[in-house]
Every structure is written in C-alpha cells, then in structure tokens.
C-alpha cells in the first residue's frame, strides 16, 4: 500500500514540470527544516530505485541470470563498504577524488556537473563536466572502480532533462563550477529540488541536432523555420504511450522490490555509517586562513 502511493508520487513528480513545481518543493523543504524530528531517516523500498538505480539489473532478457545478478550485488555492496557512493542525479554537482597509476603519491580531485548517468551493476558510470582554464573538460568515472577514493555531492539537485549533453554546445558559463566549492547542506528526507535553469546554446554548428531532441532545459533556439518543420516530421510523440516498449525497457516493480528487500539491510547499515561519519566531520575545526 505504501509502495503504491509513493510510486504514484514519483510519477507525479516526473510529470509536473516547470517552475511551479519547484517553488512548491522549495516550500516543502522550508517546512521540513522546521520539523526536523519527523523526517523519516530511511528510504522506503520504492524510493530505492531513484537513490540506487544501478542495483536494478539490465532489463534485456538475453543477459539476465539470477545468480550472476546476486553475485554482482554482493560485490557492489562490499565495495560500497569502502567508498561512500551518495545519492545523486543528472544535474547534481559532484567532486570525485581518485588516484592515477601514472602519477603515484598524488590524489586528484575533479569537480563538475553530472551530465550523464548510465549502466547497471558493476558497470555503472557517470560523466562529470566542468570548464577549466576556458577549456571544457569531461571525465567518465566508473562507480565501482577501486581507484576512486571519495565521491562527494556538493549540490544535490536535478535538471529538467535526463541527460545534459547539450552543455557541450552551450555557453561555457553554464558548465563552469568553482573547484573549491563548499558542499551545500541538503536536509535529509526533503525532496530533491529541480533546477529550472534554461541554458543558452551557442550558434550552430553543433555536435548534435538539439532542436530535434525535445529538450526542456534550453532557451528558445534561433533557427530558420525549416529546422523546426523537419524536427516535427521526425518527432515520435506516440512513443510515450507505447506500453510494450516501456515494459521491455524496465524491470517490473515487484521484481525491483524483491531485489531491494534483499539488500535493504546492508544499504541501511551503510547509510548509518555514513551518517556517523558526517557527524564526525562536523566536529573538525575549520582551518584559519591568513
């Protein structure tokens, strides 16, 4: 019963778009701040699929095997005991600390916006983008790569689109982030804010034909009429009603809950240790500068 209501809410959250929704979420966050004691500390089973999407196996029937998936999950959990992989989404700003075998004794911290998150299981990966010295830089990180020592979420938020590859053709200010950025505090249990920012694209030529992608996070594009006519011709607006396609591309909710119920205990344990660590961190005295 609880599961169904929450999933409905998730769907609602997806469907409603634009500024209105965000403002309501902001209100919600302000409310939750005042009533800190009532916040549920654990994620419910239905929320796990948003928080830990890589635990959901590949829906392609040809590649599925229950024992392989189980072993994969166990490996993921044992890696997660050594690295805190937090909840993050496309559009969140992350800082990843890693080591390179070609520069020993050095750690490397990269700050950037997550423009893509894909893959499942041990193959899960994400791309961070930033502009450093007027040069766009993108780094693809594998989540379970043992050279990653720390993944930190500096700003937890979502954008209007599921992938932000259009930032490559946008003005550089939209993907420039300070590498010394301080992590922003996100109250626990509060809904994830959606950043309604609309990006301004550079004039053509582009890497892709963005006018055909039905993007919500870009400003009005200044193009001749024929581009939009062609985009309309190629659009497939009926695909969102294609239930069979949806079915083939997703894993049924029952199966998802089964998977998450199996690993729920370990995940909760990991969350608890993370909280303890966080509390520890707050006690560290700030270093005086100058």
Q: In 19-124, which ranges are E strands?
A: 93-99, 107-118
Total of chain residues touching other proteins, rule CB under 8 A: 32
213 binds other proteins (CB under 8 A): no
Stretch that binds other proteins, among 35-43, 64-72, 155-163, 175-183 (CB under 8 A): 64-72
Q: Minimum CB separation from other proteins for residue 29, in Å?
A: 33
Q: Minimum CB separation from other proteins for residue 109, in Å?
A: 14
Q: Minimum CB separation from other proteins for residue 82, in Å?
A: 6
The strand order across the sheet containing 107-118 reads: 135-142, 125-132, 107-118, 93-99, 148-155
Residue 195 CB partners (closer than 8 Å, separation 6+)? 22, 91, 157, 158, 159, 160
Tell me whether residue 194 is exposed, middle or buried, using C-beta atoms within 10 angstroms of its C-beta: 0 to 12, 13 to 18, 19 or more: buried
d(CA 242, CA 104): 51
Q: How many residues does the chain have?
A: 290
**14, 82, 134, 279: which one contacts other proteins (CB under 8 A)?**
82
**17, 78, 179, 268: which one contacts other proteins (CB under 8 A)?**
78
Count other C-beta atoms under 10 Å from residue 226's C-beta.
8
**14, 101, 280, 285: which one contacts other proteins (CB under 8 A)?**
101
32 binds other proteins (CB under 8 A): no
**8, 100, 162, 247: which one contacts other proteins (CB under 8 A)?**
100
Contact pattern for other proteins over residues 143 through 182, marking x by CB under 8 A: -xxxxxx---------------------------------
Stretch that binds other proteins, among 31-39, 121-129, 195-203, 249-257 (CB under 8 A): 121-129
d(CA 150, CA 97): 5
200 binds other proteins (CB under 8 A): no
What is the Cβ-side half-sphere exposure of residue 238, based on CA atoms within 13 angstroms?
3
**What tokens were used for 203?**
């004039």
71 binds other proteins (CB under 8 A): yes
Stretch that binds other proteins, among 5-13, 57-65, 177-185, 227-235 (CB under 8 A): 57-65
DSSP letter for 80, please: H
Cβ atoms of residues 97 and 150 within 8 Å: yes
> If we measure between CA atoms, which residue out of 220, 245, 266 comes closest to residue 76?
266
Q: Provide the binding-site residues for other proteins, judged by CB under 8 A.
A: 62-65, 67-68, 70-72, 75-76, 78-79, 81-83, 99-101, 103-105, 121-123, 142, 144-149
């Amino acid at each position: 019963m609880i599961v169904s209501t929450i999933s409905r809410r998730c769907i609602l959250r997806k469907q409603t778009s634009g500024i209105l929704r965000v403002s309501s979420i902001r209100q919600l966050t302000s409310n939750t701040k005042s009533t800190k004691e009532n916040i549920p500390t654990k994620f419910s089973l239905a929320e796990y699929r948003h928080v830990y999407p890589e635990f959901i196996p590949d829906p392609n029937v040809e590649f599925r095997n229950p024992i392989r998936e189980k072993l994969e999950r166990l490996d993921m959990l044992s890696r997660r005991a050594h690295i805190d992989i937090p909840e993050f989404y496309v559009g969140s700003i992350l800082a990843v600390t890693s080591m390179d075998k070609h520069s020993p004794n050095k750690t490397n911290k990269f700050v950037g916006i997550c423009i893509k998150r894909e893959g499942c299981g041990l193959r899960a990966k994400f791309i961070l983008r930033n502009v450093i010295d007027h040069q766009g830089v993108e780094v693809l990180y594998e989540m379970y790569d043992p050279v990653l020592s720390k993944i930190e979420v500096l700003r937890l938020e979502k954008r209007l689109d599921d992938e932000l590859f259009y930032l490559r053709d946008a003005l550089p200010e939209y993907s420039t982030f300070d590498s010394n950025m301080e992590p922003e505090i996100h109250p626990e249990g509060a809904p994830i804010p959606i950043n309604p920012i609309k990006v301004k694209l550079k004039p053509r030529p582009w890497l892709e034909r963005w006018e055909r992608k039905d993007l919500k996070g870009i400003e009005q594009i200044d193009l001749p009429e024929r581009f939009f006519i062609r985009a309309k011709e190629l659009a497939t607006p009926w695909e969102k009603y294609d239930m069979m396609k949806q079915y083939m591309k997703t894993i049924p909710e029952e199966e998802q809950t089964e998977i998450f119920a199996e690993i729920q205990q370990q995940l909760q344990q990991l969350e608890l240790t993370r909280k303890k660590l966080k509390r520890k961190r707050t006690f560290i005295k700030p270093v005086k500068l100058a």
